[in-house]
Structure 1
Amino acid sequence: AVLFGSRNRWAWLGGTAMLSVAKIIENMELGHNVSHGQWDWMNDPEIHSTSWEWDMTGPSAQWRRAHNYSHHTYTNVLGKDEDLGFGILRMTRDEAWRPVHLAQPAANLLLAATFEWGIALHDLGIEKELAGIAPGAKTSP
């Protein structure tokens, strides 16, 4: 209501900030923990990992398989953990520095602005890997 209910620039900025915080809390705090099954013991269908669906581009089932496989099997292992820099950020000294890393602050802003799309595409790549589809291979005739 604050976001759409006013022509005032400050109300619009306040509404945008509130919407951003709400999405961050729902998807990255609540959704992340629910998808890991943290609250499955309560048997509440609203917060059970098998029935949880979040308001993100990629479906929660896809994220559960991709994230749990890639990140929790190979946590912080360069070349295995797809969450380590999400393929565009240099996050460890183990990765060789290249001049393109000078653009990392801009890449970080881009990743922040398009995070849910990055997660959906990132997880889709892991899904293909788990299904045995080679990177770059056609998936349909």
Structure 2
Amino acid sequence: MRIRNNKHPERKALLNHRGGFTLFEAFISMILVGATMAVALPAFKAIGQQRKDIDQRYLVVTAVANLAERIRAENSGKDLSQDRLNNYQSALIGELDLNDLQVELSVVNTDDDEVSGVRQVDIKVSWRNIYGENVDPVTLILWLYE
């Protein structure tokens, strides 16, 4: 049995039903998606930069730790000179590819009345990130006993 009366409630529901978006609704949806992307993209860029900074720091810490092990294995406290440290320094600079890299290696004699024959090797590495800001330096102190 067909309903031919347009005033019937079921017929009105079928006539008012539409199957898609209007242009206005699609335009508003695009505006909302665009605004969300405009807010999210800088956050993703900052997260990527932080990840790169962490990777660089990990690379430097690993290189400094390896250098400290090499210094300890190849030298005793009494035969380590500043010339040898300069060779280690140039090797470390060649190994690391960072902006405005500065490496400082120094030997400190800590002869005092209580402990003699102890030498301290200070290793300090600093660099700049891609924005030109100084990064907190990586410092390692190595103690050599004769």
TM-score with structure 1 length normalisation?
0.31
Structure number having the greater strand percentage = 2
Structure with bigger helix share is 1
TM-score, length of structure 2 as denominator length:
0.30
Q: Which has the larger radius of gyration?
A: 2
